Each structure stands twice: as structure tokens, then as C-alpha cells.
Structure 1
């Protein structure tokens, strides 16, 4: 999924779940996450991108939109489990 499409999907998800006619997550905020979506797409798969969209959407509806740094932390947590290590593990010494 292209990062701008992921940002658009996030806006739609927030709008549909928030029950308001206007987006709670405006265009600028959604675009701030495009680098995060691009990184997730490179390091994971479409399912991972959708999981990040869902997690950011949950956070936006329940609290406030995460900052770009917080969105990256969310993405890192999603990519870490299930055999997608953030590092190669090295030799452990």
C-alpha cells in the first residue's frame, strides 16, 4: 500500500469510528505518518500496515492523535512480534 493511501485509509477509519462528519484526524496529521507507513511497508507487509493504521486510529478516537515519533513506536511494536525482529540479533556478546 502506498503511504499516501495508508494515510487516507487512516482518515477514513477515524471518521467512520468517531461518529463525526468531519475528520478528527486532519489531512496534515495523516500525512505526518506517511514516513512511518512507508517504513512499515518496507519492513513488513500489508497486514502490518493495516495493523498500524488500526492502532493509530484507536489511539486517535480514544485519546489524541499520536505524534509522528509515537506513531513510529507503535509501528516498531507491531513489527517486533511474530518473527520480524528490529535488529538482526548479532552474536549476543
Structure 2
């Protein structure tokens, strides 16, 4: 932890400094996979950077659910052999 000297104390500069510090702590971005996965990851990361933690949690859980659904529904491209149909998968509706 270090002490920062701030010359301009307005809201935007403080928010930008905090966002810059949080951005440095994030892991490397995902390689481009598919827009439906990458955009959810981008939304989650940007929500975390700007301090909207609930939105970040919701985006992460939606991303996890979406990725799991893709893995189950598209077994040819993902190397999984599942016997679930769409009606069985949607039996419990969506977590989000």
C-alpha cells in the first residue's frame, strides 16, 4: 500500500484513479472465443473496474451459466457427449 498525492480531488479523477488501480489487478483478458461469451466477460470486468460489484457478480454468474449451456447443447464442438434434450435442460429455467 502506498500513499498517493492527489492534486485534483474531483469525483471523476478519483474514480479514474481507482479504476486504473483495479484494472491492474485483473487477470489477462480472454482470447476471442465468441461474442456471446466475450461480451459478458467484458461487462463483468468493466462493472468490477468501476465499482458496480453486484452487476459484476450477476454478469459472472450469467457467463458461467451461458458457458455451461453451450457446453451441454453443442457437444460436437465441445467434446462432450450428453443425452439431454433442450426440454430437459430448460426444465429448471434460467438461474438469472
**TM class by smaller structure:** 0.3 to 0.5
TM-score, normalised by the number of residues in structure 1 = 0.38
Q: Which has the higher contact order (CA 8 A, sep 6+)?
A: 1
Based on CA coordinates, which of the two structures has the bigger radius of gyration?
A: 2
Give the TM-score normalised by structure 2.
0.38
